[in-house]
Amino acid sequence: MDVASVQTKGPDVAAQLHTATLQQTAERRELVKAVKTVNQAELFGQGNELTYAVDRDTRKLVTRIVDKTTGDLIKQIPAEYVLRLAEEYKENP
């Protein structure tokens, strides 16, 4: 086998991963800025704040409105039961 004749096709994978990581970092920064702006404007009430998290089981982004003083969950999108349905479906299609 002539190793010299083997050519790499397509762009450099490491460069693609680096670009994707930079893009994800920029997107996260923009999301954090937007959430801070919404919370400063108190769009969900004086004692409430908007938060984002990733569900551990489904790896889906979850949006929550939380009471700042008590930490109680006021609303979550998608709802917890929807996340559990998605997880169950993933395990048993």
Question: Which residues are 51's β-sheet partners?
Answer: 64
Q: Name the one residue in this structure whose structure tokens are 């680096």.
A: 18
Q: Where are the domains of the chain?
A: 11-91
CA distance 60 to 53: 8
- List Cβ neighbours of 57 (8 Å cut-off, separation of 6 or more): 83, 84, 87
14-59 pLDDT tens trace: 777 778 788 888 888 998 999 999 999 999 999 999 998 888 888 8
Overall pTM surpassing 0.95 (yes/no) = no
